[in-house]
C-alpha cells in the first residue's frame, strides 16, 4: 500500500511538470497505468503470501482471547483460554443469548478479530435462500408427563427425573431425546463483495460501533497502534483485500466478514461422545485437578464417540458439520466438478452436495482405477468449506484446461467459485428449562417494546416485594424457572455474567414468585440428586494445534502424564517400583492466591454484575490470622470498580465488606458478605 501512495505522489509531480508533447504524455500515462496495474497485482499477491504462510503455520481455529491478567510465568496469561475457553460466559437472563467474548480466530489462513460476540440461538433459514436469512432455533417442548402434574412440586419432581435420564443417557423409562436437543454452534467466515458495513450477525448485547468499513478500519488502526481499547468491546478487525484485477487493471476489493450461528443436530449426541481435552497451563492457573478443570469454564472437549485415541480420516464430527449449510442455507444444492471430476461424499459415494460444509471428499479414479480421497486445503485439519451462489460472496476464478492443446488455443473453461469456511464452536444442549413455566408468568415480548418495558416499569428491579418484583418476563428478563427446582446457587460465576440468583416476578394474579433465569447456561445450578450439569460443551479447534511444535508437545504431554502406559516410548524408563507414583490427593497444593467475589448487584442502576478481589498469601494471612482490615480495589465491571475495606469475621468465618467507596453499603446493592474460592471451580 505504501508503494502505491508513493507512486501517486511521484506521478503528480511527474505529470504536471513539463509536458512536452501530447504523444509523449499519452505514452507516459500508458506506462504508469501498466505499472499501477502490476503494483496492484503485487498487493494482491502480498495478501496471498501472508495467508499462505499462516495456512502452513497452523489450522483453522481459535488463536487468542483478550488478556485479563499477568503472572510470574507466561502461562498465567491468556491463550485460546483464560478463565473460560474462548471467553464464553452466561447471559442466562436473556432468552436466547450465548455469552462469548472477543477472540482472534484464523479461518483458512486469514486471521481476524471478532467483536464481543454474545451470539444468539439462530440458524440459517430452512425455507429461504436469501443471503443471511435466519430463523430462531426452536426450543424443545416440556415432556407431557411433567405438564400433566398439577402441583408445581410434582412437576419439579417429574422434571428432575427427565434430567436424570438425560444425564445418564438412559432412554428406557423416559426417552429424553425429544426434549433435550444438541445444537452445533459454528463460526463462519467469507470474503464478501459488500461495500457498506454489514453487521455480521445478531446479538442483543453488542453491535459494531461503526457506520462504514473505513470507520471500522480506522478504529482498529487507532486502538492497535495506541494499545487502547473500546470499553464496549464493539470493534472488530475484519481485513479488506484485493481479490482480483480487471482486464483494464482496476482492483476488485473483497471484505472479510464472519458470523456465528447454530444448527440443531439431527439425532442424539450423548455427553459420553464428548471427551475433555487437557490443558496443563489452564489447570495450573486455576489450581485444578483434571476433574476440576473438566468441571470449569476453561475446559474444551473433542467429539470422540469411542473415547479412544486413534488415527482416522473422517469421523463423527464430519457427520455433524456435513449437516450445516453454507450461505445458500438449507435449500442449497450444488455439485462440485471443480478442476475435473465431480466430488463425491465420503460417507455414501454419491455426488457431494458442496452447498454444505465438508472437508474430506472422493473423486472417482480415471478408467475405473479406484477412487481418490482428498481433503480441502493443503494441511489444514479444520478447513470446512461450503460453496455458494450468493453474489455477495466474492468469486474466484481460474481457467481450467483439459489438456495442453486447449491451453495453447486458449479454449479453456473458466471455473468460478464462491465459498465460505466454518469451524465448530460448541455443542449447546437445549432443555425443557427454556420454556417450562409452571407459574404461568406472562411473557411481554422484546424488552425494548412498549409492553416489554412494563416489566421494569416504576423502578421494578426483580425484588421479592410486590412493588419491586418484575411485572412478568421479557426477552432480557427471562426468568421462568421456579427457584426450588435447583438446589444450589449459580455455578462458577464469571464477571461477564448478568444472572442473579433469584428474582421475584409477579404472576397473573399479582403474586410474587421466586424464579431463576431460563436462558442458556454453561452449567446449570445444582439439581438435587443430580449435581451440576453442563449444557455448553466448547469443541472449538485451536489454531496452534496445527503447528508441528504443538503436535510434538502434545505427544510429550501424553507420555509424561501417563508414564505407566507409555513406558515403551521412554529412553530410560524411571524405576517405578522403587519409587511408586501415587495420587496423593491429600498433599496441599502450592498456595497461589485467593479470589473473593461479591454477591451479584441489583440490576439497577448499572446492570447486573459482580466483582472479584484478588488476595495474595500475605494479605490473606494478615486478615485471617492477624485480624487486620485491608483496602482493595475490586475488579472493574459494568464500567466501575469499588474501593472496599475488607475484614475477616471470625464468627461466620467469612470475609466481609465493612466500607464500600467510603459508605456502609455499595451503591449498587452488593451485600457485605464475600464468597471465597478458587476463581474457576464449581461452587454450587
Ligand atoms: C449433480 O450431479 C448428479 C449426478 O451426476 C445429477 O443427477 C444432478 O442433477 C446434479 N445436480 C446439479 C444441481 O447439477
Ligand atoms: C478476474 O479478472 C480477470 C481479468 O483480469 C477476469 O477474466 C476474471 O473473470 C475475473 N474473475 C472474477 C472471479 O471476477
Ligand atoms: C403489569 O403489566 C400489565 C401489562 O402492561 C398491566 O396491565 C398491569 O397493570 C401491570 N401490573 C402492575 C401490578 O403494575
Ligand atoms: C490415580 O488416579 C487415576 C484417576 O483417578 C487412576 O486411574 C489411577 O489408577 C490412579 N493411580 C494410582 C497409582 O493410584
Ligand atoms: C501425601 O501428602 C501428605 C501431606 O503432604 C503427606 O503427609 C503424606 O505422607 C503423603 N502420602 C503419600 C502416600 O505420599
357-381, pLDDT tens digit by residue? Answer: 999 999 987 666 678 899 999 999 9
Query: Which pLDDT score is estimated for 683?
Result: 30
The label of the residue with cell 451462489 reads 389
User: Which residues does 296 contact at the CB level (< 8 Å), separation at least 6?
Assistant: 286, 288, 492, 680, 681, 682
Our answer on whether the CB atom of 582 is closer than 6 Å to any ligand 4 atom is: yes
Q: Say whether 367 sits in a helix, a strand or coil.
A: helix
Residue of 443, 447, 451, 454 to test ligand 3 pocket, by largest number of atoms within 8 Å of CB: 454
Query: Which pLDDT score is estimated for 348?
Result: 92
**Dist. CA 92 → ligand 3 center (Å):** 24
Residue nearest to atom 3 of ligand 1 (CA): 351
In the predicted structure, residue 544 carries a pLDDT above the cut 90: yes
Instruction: Name the residue with higher pLDDT: 501 or 41.
Output: 41
Give the number of the atom of ligand 1 that is nearest the alpha carbon of residue 350. Answer: 4
The label of the residue with cell 461495500 reads 195
Alpha-carbon span 244 to 238, nearest angstrom: 18
**Dist. CA 355 → ligand 1 center (Å):** 13
Residue 375 and residue 360 in contact, taking contact as beta carbons nearer than 8 Å: yes
Tell me what the mean pLDDT of segment 635-662 comes to: 88
User: Which residues does 524 contact at the CB level (< 8 Å), separation at least 6?
Assistant: 433, 486, 491, 532, 533, 534, 535
Q: Looking at the CA of 455, name the nearest ligand.
A: 3
Q: pLDDT tens digit string along 620-630? A: 888 988 889 99
User: Which residues does 506 contact at the CB level (< 8 Å), separation at least 6?
Assistant: 441, 466, 469, 470, 471, 472, 512, 513
Q: pLDDT tens digit string along 587-610? A: 555 556 678 888 877 766 666 677
Query: Which pLDDT score is estimated for 13?
Result: 54
Our answer on whether the CB atom of 581 is closer than 6 Å to any ligand 5 atom is: no
Residue nearest to atom 7 of ligand 3 (CA): 454
Residue nearest to atom 10 of ligand 4 (CA): 583
Alpha-carbon span 270 to 268, nearest angstrom: 6
In the predicted structure, residue 658 carries a pLDDT above the cut 50: yes
Of the listed ranges 196-210, 313-327, 367-381, 479-493, the one predicted with least confidence: 479-493
Tell me what the mean pLDDT of segment 240-269 comes to: 94
Tell me what the mean pLDDT of segment 488-504 comes to: 60
Q: Which residues line ligand 3 (CB under 6 A)?
A: 451, 454, 471, 506, 510
**Dist. CA 281 → ligand 4 center (Å):** 21
Tell me what the mean pLDDT of segment 325-335 comes to: 97
Query: Which pLDDT score is estimated for 525?
Result: 87
Residue of 335, 338, 361 to test ligand 1 pocket, by largest number of atoms within 8 Å of CB: 335
Of the listed ranges 97-106, 272-281, 541-550, 603-612, the one predicted with least confidence: 603-612
Tell me what the mean pLDDT of segment 400-422 comes to: 91
Instruction: Name the residue with higher pLDDT: 406 or 244.
Output: 244
In the predicted structure, residue 68 carries a pLDDT above the cut 70: yes
Query: Which pLDDT score is estimated for 286?
Result: 77
**Dist. CA 147 → ligand 3 center (Å):** 27
Query: Which pLDDT score is estimated for 287?
Result: 76
| Residues of the chain above pLDDT 70, percent | 89
In the predicted structure, residue 304 carries a pLDDT above the cut 90: yes
Q: pLDDT tens digit string along 481-491? A: 999 898 755 55
Alpha-carbon span 221 to 234, nearest angstrom: 14
In the predicted structure, residue 344 carries a pLDDT above the cut 70: yes
534 burial (CB, 10 Å; 0-12 / 13-18 / 19+) is buried
Instruction: Name the residue with higher pLDDT: 285 or 15.
Output: 285
Alpha-carbon span 667 to 684, nearest angstrom: 27
Residue 444 and residue 456 in contact, taking contact as beta carbons nearer than 8 Å: no
Band of the pLDDT at 34, cuts 50, 70, 90?
very high
Query: Which pLDDT score is estimated for 446?
Result: 95
**Dist. CA 373 → ligand 1 center (Å):** 20
Cell numbers for 32: 504508469
Q: Cis peptide before 605, with omega less than 30 degrees from 0?
A: yes
In the predicted structure, residue 140 carries a pLDDT above the cut 50: yes
Query: Which pLDDT score is estimated for 587?
Result: 58
Q: pLDDT tens digit string along 524-536? A: 988 988 989 999 9
In the predicted structure, residue 167 carries a pLDDT above the cut 70: yes
The closest of 99, 104, 102 to 115, measured between CA atoms, is: 102
Query: Which pLDDT score is estimated for 585?
Result: 63
Q: What phi and psi values does residue 547 have, to the nearest 5 degrees?
A: -85, 130
Written in H, E and C, the secondary structure of 304-361 is: CCCCCCCCCCCCHHHHHHCCCECCCHHHCCCCCCCCCCCCECCCCCCECCCCECECEE
**Dist. CA 505 → ligand 3 center (Å):** 12
Of the listed ranges 162-166, 539-543, 634-638, the one predicted with least confidence: 634-638
Query: Which pLDDT score is estimated for 163?
Result: 97
Our answer on whether the CB atom of 349 is closer than 6 Å to any ligand 1 atom is: no
Query: Which pLDDT score is estimated for 374?
Result: 92
Band of the pLDDT at 684, cuts 50, 70, 90?
very low
The label of the residue with cell 468491546 reads 233
Band of the pLDDT at 681, cuts 50, 70, 90?
very low
Q: Are strands 479-482 and 413-417 parallel, antiparallel or unpaired?
A: unpaired
Q: Are strands 536-538 and 181-192 parallel, antiparallel or unpaired?
A: unpaired
Query: Which pLDDT score is estimated for 205?
Result: 85
Alpha-carbon span 427 to 317, nearest angstrom: 11
Query: Which pLDDT score is estimated for 285?
Result: 82
Query: Which pLDDT score is estimated for 589?
Result: 57
In the predicted structure, residue 638 carries a pLDDT above the cut 70: no
Alpha-carbon span 332 to 388, nearest angstrom: 8
Q: Which residues line ligand 2 (CB under 6 A)?
A: 244-247, 395-397, 416
Per the prediction, the chain carries an average pLDDT of 89
Amino acid at each position: 500500500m505504501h508503494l502505491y501512495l508513493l507512486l501517486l505522489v511521484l506521478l503528480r509531480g511527474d505529470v504536471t511538470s513539463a509536458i512536452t508533447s501530447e504523444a509523449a504524455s499519452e505514452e507516459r500515462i500508458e506506462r504508469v497505468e501498466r505499472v499501477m496495474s502490476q503494483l496492484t497485482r503485487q498487493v494482491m499477491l502480498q495478501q496471498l503470501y501472508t495467508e499462505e504462510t499462516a495456512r502452513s503455520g497452523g489450522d483453522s481455529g481459535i488463536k487468542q482471547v483478550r488478556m485479563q491478567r499477568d503472572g510470574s510465568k507466561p502461562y498465567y496469561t491468556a491463550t485460546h483460554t483464560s478463565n473460560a475457553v474462548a471467553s464464553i460466559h452466561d447471559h442466562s437472563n436473556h432468552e436466547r443469548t450465548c455469552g462469548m467474548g472477543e477472540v482472534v480466530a484464523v479461518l483458512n489462513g486469514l486471521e481476524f478479530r471478532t467483536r464481543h460476540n454474545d451470539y444468539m440461538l439462530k440458524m440459517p433459514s430452512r425455507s429461504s435462500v436469501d443471503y443471511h436469512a435466519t430463523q430462531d432455533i426452536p426450543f424443545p417442548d416440556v415432556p407431557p408427563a411433567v405438564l400433566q402434574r398439577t402441583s408445581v412440586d410434582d412437576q419439579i419432581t417429574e422434571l428432575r427425573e427427565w434430567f436424570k435420564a438425560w444425564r445418564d443417557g438412559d432412554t428406557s423409562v423416559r426417552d429424553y431425546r425429544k426434549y433435550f436437543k444438541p445444537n452445533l454452534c459454528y463460526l463462519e467466515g467469507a470474503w464478501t463483495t459488500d461495500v457498506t458495513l454489514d453487521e455480521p450477525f445478531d446479538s442483543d448485547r453488542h453491535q459494531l460501533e461503526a457506520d462504514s468499513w473505513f470507520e471500522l478500519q480506522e478504529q482498529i488502526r487507532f486502538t492497535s497502534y495506541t494499545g487502547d481499547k473500546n470499553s464496549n468491546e464493539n470493534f472488530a478487525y475484519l481485513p479488506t483485500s484485493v481479490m482480483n484485477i480487471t482486464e483494464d487493471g482496476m482492483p476488485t476489493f473483497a471484505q472479510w466478514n464472519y458470523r456465528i450461528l447454530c444448527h440443531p443436530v439431527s439425532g442424539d449426541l450423548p455427553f459420553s461422545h464428548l471427551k475433555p481435552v487437557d490443558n496443563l497451563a489452564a489447570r495450573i492457573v486455576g489450581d485444578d485437578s483434571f476433574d476440576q478443570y473438566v468441571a470449569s469454564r476453561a475446559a474444551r472437549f473433542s467429539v470422540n464417540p469411542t473415547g479412544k485415541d486413534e488415527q482416522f480420516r473422517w469421523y463423527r464430527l464430519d457427520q455433524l458439520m456435513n449437516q450445516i449449510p453454507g450461505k445458500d442455507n438449507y435449500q442449497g444444492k450444488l455439485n462440485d466438478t471443480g478442476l475435473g471430476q465431480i466430488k463425491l461424499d465420503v460417507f455414501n459415494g454419491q455426488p457431494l452436495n458442496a452447498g454444505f460444509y465438508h472437508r474430506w471428499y472422493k473423486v472417482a479414479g480415471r478408467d475405473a482405477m479406484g477412487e481418490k480421497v482428498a481433503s480441502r486445503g493443503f494441511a489444514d485439519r479444520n478447513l470446512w468449506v461450503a460453496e455458494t451462489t450468493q453474489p455477495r460472496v466474492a468469486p474466484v476464478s481460474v481457467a481450467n484446461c483439459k489438456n495442453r492443446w486447449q491451453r495453447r488455443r486458449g479454449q479453456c473453461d473458466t471455473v468460478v467459485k464462491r465459498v465460505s469456511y466454518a469451524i465448530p464452536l460448541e455443542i449447546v444442549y437445549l432443555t425443557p428449562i427454556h420454556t417450562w413455566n409452571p407459574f404461568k408468568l406472562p411473557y411481554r415480548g422484546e424488552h425494548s417494546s412498549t409492553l416489554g418495558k412494563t416489566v421494569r416499569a416504576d423502578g421494578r428491579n426483580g425484588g421479592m416485594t410486590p412493588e419491586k418484583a418484575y411485572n412478568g418476563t421479557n426477552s432480557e428478563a427471562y426468568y421462568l424457572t421456579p427457584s426450588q427446582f435447583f438446589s444450589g446457587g449459580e455455578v462458577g460465576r464469571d464477571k461477564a455474567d448478568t444472572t442473579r440468583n433469584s428474582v421475584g416476578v409477579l404472576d397473573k394474579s399479582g403474586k410474587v414468585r421466586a424464579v431463576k433465569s431460563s436462558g442458556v447456561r454453561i452449567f446449570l445450578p445444582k439439581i438435587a440428586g443430580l449435581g451440576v450439569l453442563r449444557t455448553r460443551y466448547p469443541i472449538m479447534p485451536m489454531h496452534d494445534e496445527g503447528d508441528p511444535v504443538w503436535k510434538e508437545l502434545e505427544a510429550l504431554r501424553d507420555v509424561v502424564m501417563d508414564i505407566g502406559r507409555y513406558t515403551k516410548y521412554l529412553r530410560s524408563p524411571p524405576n517405578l517400583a522403587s519409587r511408586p507414583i501415587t495420587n496423593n490427593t491429600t498433599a496441599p497444593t502450592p498456595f497461589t492466591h485467593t479470589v473473593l467475589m461479591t454477591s451479584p448487584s441489583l440490576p439497577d442502576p448499572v446492570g447486573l454484575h459482580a466483582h472479584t478481589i484478588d488476595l495474595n498469601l500475605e494479605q490473606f494471612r494478615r486478615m485471617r490470622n492477624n485480624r487486620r482490615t485491608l483496602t482493595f480495589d475490586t475488579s472493574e465491571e459494568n464500567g466501575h470498580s469499588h474501593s472496599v475495606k475488607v475484614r475477616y469475621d471470625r464468627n461466620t468465618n467469612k470475609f466481609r465488606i465493612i466500607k464500600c467507596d467510603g459508605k456502609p453499603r455499595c451503591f449498587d446493592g452488593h451485600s457485605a458478605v464475600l464468597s471465597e474460592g478458587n476463581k474457576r471451580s464449581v461452587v454450587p
